[in-house]
Amino acid sequence: MSVPQDPSDGVEVTAGTTSVAIGLPEAGEASTAITSESGAIIYPSGNGAANAVVPVDNGVQMLTTITSADAPSSFAYQIDVPRGGSVTLNQDSTAVISDVEGKPLITTSAPWAVDADGTAVPTHYEVEGTTLIQVVDHAAGDFSYPIVADPTYWWGGKEWWSASRVNVALASAGVAGYVGMAGPALIVGSALLLCNQAGRGIWVYWTWAGQAWCKGP
């Protein structure tokens, strides 16, 4: 992961062998980065909202702090997806960045926002092209500032399983009901069998948000 000093450069994360750049909201209004003692990279702004990027295990948090009622209510993350890729919303309010084949590269958690008293502030995602927008409706109630909003990003990877490994995994699945993979993802044995119809092994993909899928060679 690469976090820039200049907010207009965006945050670069790596999913397997693919790098994805994620632009920060209101980057044109933000100042050069300041690194706090906690390790968070903060981008001050004069428009009532400031960005912070916090590297965490297996992911990155992108926080927006809303300091006044005059601040914007929508925060756009321009995503430099691979050619032919997409940004889509899931039914569980999460968002996913996929490659040209529709395979997820990066998954977000569901958006959240809380005010200074710990009260939840209405928030949701919208997508325009390859831009993910977090809408924070801080004018919808009598909220206390500052308000913190978060669309945490997570990324995953892929691993080649030879046919012999798939067979061993299938045998294990018959006993345990599932197969454990690298990271917290799980994949059901019958799905492995379907992916390995050609009998030459499979690619197993996962995201650190817990999604998993596989495909043949």
The DSSP call for residue 68 is: S
The highest-confidence range among 52-56, 61-65, 140-144, by mean pLDDT, is 140-144
Strand partners, 148: 65, 114
Q: What is the mean pLDDT of residues 162-175?
A: 73
Q: In this model, does residue 14 exceed pLDDT 80?
A: no
How far is 197 from 88, CA to CA, in rounded Å? Answer: 29
Distances from the Cα of 141 to the Cα of 117, 147, 149, angstroms: 13, 12, 16
Q: In this model, does residue 82 exceed pLDDT 80?
A: yes
Share of the chain above pLDDT 90, in %: 23
Torsion 4-125-156-54 (CA) sign:
positive
Distance from the first to the final alpha carbon of the chain:
29
Q: Kindly report whether the peptide bond that precedes residue 146 is cis, defined as omega within 30 degrees of 0.
A: yes
Closest CA to 24 of 72, 78, 60: 78
Question: Looking at 99-108, 143-152, 170-179, which range is the least confident one?
Answer: 170-179
Q: What is the pLDDT of residue 147?
A: 92
| pLDDT confidence tier of residue 182, bands split at 50, 70 and 90 | very low
The DSSP call for residue 144 is: P
pLDDT digit string, tens, across residues 141-162: 999 999 999 887 766 556 788 8
pTM: 0.70
Q: In this model, does residue 184 exceed pLDDT 50?
A: no
More confident residue, 37 or 100: 100
Taking 3-state DSSP, the helix, strand and coil percentages for the chain, each rounded to the nearest 5, stand at 10, 45, 45
Q: What is the pLDDT of residue 183?
A: 39
Token duo for residue 117: 């008293």
The DSSP call for residue 193 is: H
Closest CA to 82 of 13, 133, 151: 13
Q: What is the mean pLDDT of residues 83-110?
A: 88
Average pLDDT over the chain reads 79
| pLDDT confidence tier of residue 36, bands split at 50, 70 and 90 | low
For the chain, what is the radius of gyration of the CA atoms?
A: 20
